[in-house]
Structure 1
Amino acid sequence: MTRGDGLEPRGDTTPRLRASWQRSARYGVPDDEVKPVFTATVDTGSLLFECGDEVLRGLHATLADEPISLMLTDSEGLVLSRLCGDPGMTRSLDRVHLAPGFSYAESNAGTNGLALALADRTPSLVRAGEHYCTSLRGYTCAAVPVLDPITGALAGSVNLTTWSEQSSGLLLALAQTAAGHTTSLMLARASGRRPRPAPRGEVFRVYADRIDPPELSAAWQHALLEAMDTMGRGRTVAVVGEPGAGKTALAALARRELHPRERVLNARPPAPDDVDAWLAMWSPEVGKADTCVIVSGVDALPAWAAGELAARFTGHPTGFVLTASDSAAIPKPLMSFVDTVVELPPLRLRPDDILPLAHHFAHRARGRAVSFTPAAARALATHDWPENAKQLRRVVAEAAARADTVDTHHLPPEVFTTTGHRLSRLQAMERDEIVRCLAQPGATVVRAAAELGMGRATIYRKMAQYGIKNRQLRS
């Protein structure tokens, strides 16, 4: 395969591969020699490294005599670890700097397996001549992205590399198995929180809430007014902030305030393999009169999909709103459309919003007003809500389903703890039992210790360990 016009490979190649070559050319990557950026240290203390390295070492033990290198990278393409039992392969990889501490991101090394997997967030196989740099064409690389099982964020990738003349049929399957085992191990060693569901690419209409939105804090109002001002001038807005903070809700409310009769659609990102169907479902709506599309989580889109989306937005600058985790994460093809970035602070920095939102979510869930005891209100108001308004909505909806007046024993144990570190499933069960006993009417530490078969000193030590706030458990 030759370079052709310098912007894309020639021959029967996929659109993803051609798009990657075009990006590599725009990055100015040299085509004759790979020159990755070197970082002196790598993060070996992360959950990704702990679990991924363990999985790869187990796989390496079964492939010890094979000319295959097994690698783990972070989300930016930095190689964290490399295992290879073939001396010739090891020396060859050293010559092209495919080793721990070097970044093989697309912007540094051009089209390669791990870079393409990270850019498009989907399993990728790059054979010999499909590499952008000629110095990499002696290899075939299979890579699979690893997603954080709790947040869904891109954590890194598993990369398997072998000689180009070796069979590649099994390589991608092995990489997928290793990535899947890494994710499962990360979940097992996480805090016991529920895993994030796989993206399904939902597209739905946002209707006006039957309940008036609550009066929220100055921080929320400032972000809302900034969004409305930009939209009112016919400009494009991107709302950024932590997952669950309420970015889509803010964008929808801003559009409703400006255009009460407008049809508002929300398009959530799909799994990478479903992007074509997802785009076909809703992109024809862009540019229609009295229609606005809020495209959520554009930072989770594959790189090639961001380019396709940008092409559909061209000529319709006022027909859409974007949301993302932060402005730096917005893909460059989409960022060129953005006139104003509105940052929505997380809920822990908007404590005055917690109780108004709690009453609002409870009313929506139960269909009528719900009250909170002083102890329950205190517990809600002082929790740091790591998953933001999304977590608050879930907690309050579950509690409101049980009573018109929510007390502490209606709230889950997570509201009464601040651990600051992941808990094993066994630790989470122990914490939940302690909270359950302390939340009972008239409970004391002495009675809880007796019920659990623990000493009082042990209960106090466990309360400190799990960050259990006994004062909030008392009505």
Structure 2
Amino acid sequence: MDELAERARTGGVPVATTPRLSASWRRSHNYGAPAEKVDPVFIGTVDDESLFFQCGQQVLLGLHETLANEPVSLMLTDEDGHVLSRVCHNHALIEALDRTYLAPGFAFSEREAGTNGLGLALADRTPSLVRGDEHYCTGLWDYTCAAVPVLDPVHGRLLGSINLTTWSQKSANLLLALAQTAAGHTSALMLSRGHGMQPRPAPRGEVFRMNAAAQFGSAPELSGPWQIALTEVRAALAEGLSVGIVGEPGVGKTTLLATALRHVQPHDRILNARPPDPRDTEWWLTLWTPELGKDNTSVIAAGVDTLPSWAATELAEIVAAQARRPFTVTAREATAIPDALARHVDTVVELPPLRHRPDDVLPLAEHLGKRARGREVRFTPAAARALRTYHWPDNSEQLRRVVREAAARSDVVDTRHLPPEVLCGPTRTLTRIETLERDEIARCLAEPGTTVTRAAEILGMSRATIYRKITQYGIRTPD
């Protein structure tokens, strides 16, 4: 029996040895988590103005009313395990939780508290239930914790978790189901209050998506920031170093890696391995061993910051044993690359977002238009100006969608072919009515020859009102 299992048998109580719990215990041991009494970090004030907090808190308050006097504490945490709020009316449970610092302002990730419900849910990004002596720290053995991660309903980013905690001797059969319901309601409420946000597409079951090098297409000549990043990556790969590219979603991290790999290994197959649905992770891992062992194959592990911790550890072991080519990964930021994989990454290069590379927008748009249309696509000066000055919150992926839709309508793209949001500057979140009003004004002004005065007549507004709305919504009027 290993050291951790032996230590866990204090008092003759055996620890559960499921693979996920065992992996979590090993991580806790490596982190140096406390074995007997938690001493978490206190961050003080928490962000109570975010959409996630407001929706999550409303859901927890509603659920708490249905639980009457049950000894259950309902908590909301951020993605780092900091407790943002706690709802509980059972005084005995509140006092006990206070003694273990499971309270707002304290951090309870695996690093601070070892294996626990919310820490495991955040690490593995999947619903988790930890009972009594399954906790790494004996100071938490009095509790059973059920936690479910909450993802951004639009972008899929991890926001935090819903955590339900009760006494360890209480039945936990419904605890995880309640936590899953609360997490689902939180995401749904965020989507409802997001004023027009669209949910991200559901996973299509493509746990390992293979792309031949030619499928990436030749990237156009882009500006300084892109070229600097590309030069750094090429140099590292030529030296046999493993590389990580970090940056916002949709910024072109995989494209940059594929371009560099084609330069260094022009005859290689390039496989882009996207993160799987958590339920498919074991199958996804089985596909790595044969591919990493091939001499003519380069693999990009995309979005490793969204992998469950145990899967990242398993993948790191496969890389160490099988990889014959430099290992390449992408992530949102360097600190988000799982520790197990970060040890195999020799250099990290950051790719700036598209809003910081305005000179790249038009070349990319022309390139994407040609790919979508099958022939050259031109942009009028007004359309080009609108594209360059837009802030592109979803980066190149959003530009691709906009150009594909516009190019489907014409070989010469004008402002009237662009969606209304591209013609508007950054603004606050709008209600659905405001969004409709903004879009109608933008569409009207985009029609050739339409002046502000004429648009006011068409829309039944006074000139003063439409000028005020143009300023309010940040609409850019064509010259």
Place the TM-score, normalised by the shorter chain, in its bin: over 0.9
Question: Superposed, which structure 2 residues align to 1:93-132 within 5 Å?
Answer: 93-132=97-136
Structure 1 residue 422 and structure 2 residue 426: aligned?
Answer: no
SS at match of 1:288: coil
- Trace 1:138-287 onto structure 2 (pairs within 5 A): 138-199=142-203, 200=205, 201-209=207-215, 212-287=218-293
Shift of 1:456: 2.4
Cα deviation for residue 5 of structure 1 reads: 3.5
Alpha carbons of structure 1 residues 283 and 465: separation in structure 2 relative to 1, 3 Å: farther
Q: Given that residues 211 and 272 in structure 2 are in contact (C-alpha distance below 8 angstroms), is that contact kept between their aligned partners in structure 1?
A: yes
CA contact (8 A) 1:7 1:25 kept: no
CA distance in 2, matches of 1:375, 1:409: 10
Q: Distance in 1 between matches of 2:171 and 2:455?
A: 62
TM-score normalised by L of structure 2: 0.95
- Cα deviations by residue, 1:197-227 (Å, 9 ceiling, x for unpaired): 2445342123325964311112111111111
| SS of equivalent residue, structure 1 residue 67 | coil
SS of residue matched to 2:299? strand
Deviates more, 1:115-124 or 1:189-198: 189-198
**Which residue number corresponds to residue 314 of structure 2?**
308
The answer (yes or no) to whether the contact 2:132–2:140 under 8 Å persists in 1 is yes
Q: Residue 5 of structure 2 aligns to which amino acid in structure 1? A: G
Gapped regions of structure 1 (runs ≥ 5): none
Which segment drifts farther, 280-289 or 401-410? Answer: 280-289
1:411 deviation in Å?
Answer: 0.4
How big is the shift at 1:287? 2.4
- Distance in 1 between residues matched to 2:141 and 2:462, nearest whole Å: 66
Look up the SS of the partner of 2:97 in the other structure. Answer: helix
The reply to whether residue 78 of structure 1 matches residue 120 of structure 2 is no
Within the candidate set 43, 48, 59, 2:52 is matched to: 48
**How big is the shift at 1:427?**
2.3
Equivalent residues, number: 472
> What amino acid is the match of 2:58?
E
Q: Which moved more, 1:129-138 or 1:358-367?
A: 129-138
Partner of 1:28: 32
Give yes or no for contact 2:297–2:325 (8 Å, CA) kept in 1.
no
Gaps of 5+ in 2: none
Q: What is the deviation of 1:277?
A: 1.1
Task: Tell me the residue number matched to 2:329.
Answer: 322
SS of corresponding position for 1:169? coil
* Cα distance in 1 for residues equivalent to 2:151 and 2:265: 38
Corresponding residue for residue 355 of structure 1: 362
| Structure 2: distance between partners of 1:248 and 1:217 | 17
The answer to whether structure 1 residue 365 and structure 2 residue 372 are counterparts is yes
CA contact under 8 A between 2:245 and 2:331: conserved in structure 1?
Answer: yes
Structure 2 matches for 1:417-456, cutoff 5 A? Answer: 417-456=424-463
Deviates further, 189-198 or 68-77: 189-198
> C-alpha displacement at 1:363, in angstroms?
0.4
The answer on whether the counterparts of 1:207 and 1:264 sit within 8 Å (CA) in structure 2 is yes
Partner secondary structure for residue 5 of structure 2:
coil
1:4 and 2:5 matched: yes
Offset from partner CA, 1:433-453 (integer Å, 9 cap, x none):
111111122212222223323
Q: Against the structure 1 CA distance between its residues 459 and 245, is the aligned structure 2 distance closer, same or farther, given a 3 Å change threshold?
A: same
Normalising by structure 1, what TM-score? 0.95
Counterpart of 2:73 in structure 1 is: 69
Deviation, structure 1 residue 6: 4.1
Q: CA deviation at 1:384?
A: 1.4
**Structural RMSD (CA):** 1.9
Q: Would the aligned equivalents of 1:235 and 1:317 in 2 still touch at CA under 8 Å?
A: no
1:470 partner SS:
coil
Structure 1, 416-425 or 377-386: larger mean CA deviation: 416-425
> CA shift at 1:136, angstroms?
1.1
Aligned pair partner of 2:350 in 337, 343, 347? 343
Distance in structure 2 (CA, Å) of the matches to 1:384 and 1:76? 28
1:375 aligns with 2:379: no
CA contact (8 A) 2:4 2:26 kept: no
